[in-house]
Structure 1
Amino acid sequence: FKLNTDGSSMGRDKKVVAGGILRDHQGSMIMAFSVSMIFCSNNMAETQTANFGLQWYIDYNIKNFNLEMDSKILVDMIKGINKPSWKLHHWIAKIQEKQKFFKADVIHCYREANMVADSLAKFGAIEDASRIFSQINELPRHVKGAFILDKIGMPNFRIRSQK
C-alpha cells in the first residue's frame, strides 16, 4: 500500500489545501482526498496532509505501507535526521508515532512523481471545497488523467520558463 500526499499554500491569500491518494499494492486507487485547511505554512500543510492520510490507514487498520512525500525537509524531520521547528513538532511527533505503530516507511519522492497528489491539492484550491473520492470516475478530469498516466508508468516532466 502507498500513500502520496501534497500540501500547498498558494495564491495571494495563501489558501492552504491538502491532496492525497491512497493506493493498493497494484497501484489502484483506494481513496483520494482534497481538503481545505486553515491558513498555515507549506510545511505545516504538508505535515497535516500526511497526518490526515495516515489517520485513514489507521481507521481501516492497514499496516506495512509507504508514505511518499515530495518535501525532503519533512521526510528528514519525520525520520529524525533533522529537528522540526516548534510549530511542527507536535504534528511530526504524531506522524512518527503512527509510522512506528503501523510500520510505515516514509520516502521522499520528486515532485514530478507526486503529480496525482499535487493535482488533488490544486483542485482543492480552485474549488475551495473539501472532497473525498472513493472511485476513480469521481476524480476531476485532470486528476484522473494524472492518475492514469502514473499508473501506466508514464514519466512526468516539469518545464520551467527561462528567466
Structure 2
Amino acid sequence: MESRGNPGIFDAGVIARDEKGSILAFGAKRLVDGTNNEDECQAAIEAILMAKKLEVKKLHLEGDSQIVVNGIARGRMGAWHLDKHIRKIHELLNGFKDFKVLHFLREVNAEDDVLSHVGANGSLAEHFNFFEDLRDLDPLEFV
C-alpha cells in the first residue's frame, strides 16, 4: 500500500504466486480515499478476487499490516467501520479449500511496494490494470 496522508489516497499492489513462488499475475489499483486500515482491507479483497479469477483452491494471503492480518484471522477488527470489510473478506473466502493469512514485514515486501508506488504515481494503475483485465486473459500467460 502506498498512501498520501492518512486518511488519503491509497493504491494497492498485489502479486499472485504459485506454491513454488513463481508469479502468476500481478496488478496495481487506485483505491478510494480512506484510512490506511480501510484500504489494507480493500487490498486484501482485491487479492482474494484475483485468486478467484485464477481459480486458486488454496490461498495464503500475506500482508504487512499486523492490525488487518489479525482482524482477518479473528474474523473481526473491533472497530465497527472496519468490521464490514472483514465480513466481506470472509464472504469471499467461501469456496477456498484452504486459507491462511500471514503477516510479514514491509521491508520484505519489495515487489508489492513497487507496484503500489507505481499505482500511486498513476501509471500502471491507469494503463495496465490486471485487476480489470485478468478476466479476459489466460492465467497460463503469466507462468
TM-score range, shorter chain: 0.7 to 0.9
Question: What CA deviation, in whole Å up to 9, does each residue of 1:74-108 have, x standing for no partner?
Answer: 11111117634222111111212333531220001
Unaligned runs of 5+ in 1: 1-6, 135-163
Distance in 1 (CA, whole Å) between partners of 2:91 and 2:75 is: 16
| Mapping 1:135-154, distance limit 5 Å | none
Q: What TM-score do you get using the length of structure 2 for normalisation? A: 0.78
Structure number with bigger Rg:
1
Distance in 1 (CA, whole Å) between partners of 2:53 and 2:76 is: 29
Q: In structure 1, what is the equivalent of residue 71 of structure 2? A: 77
1:132 to 129, 132, 139: 129
Judge conservation of contact 2:6–2:35 (CA < 8 Å) in 1: no
> How far is 1:11 from its partner?
5.1
Structure 1 residue 39 and structure 2 residue 43: aligned?
no
Give percent identity, aligned residues only: 31
Root-mean-square deviation (CA), in Å? Answer: 2.4
Q: What TM-score do you get using the length of structure 1 for normalisation? A: 0.69
Number of matched pairs: 128
Unaligned runs of 5+ in 2: 132-143
Structure of higher RCO (CA pairs closer than 8 Å, 6+ residues apart): 2
> How far is 1:60 from its partner?
3.0
Structure 1 residue 60 and structure 2 residue 54: aligned?
yes
2:105 to 95, 102, 110: 110
Q: In structure 2, what is the equivalent of residue 27 of structure 1? A: 21
Letter in 1 for 2:102: I
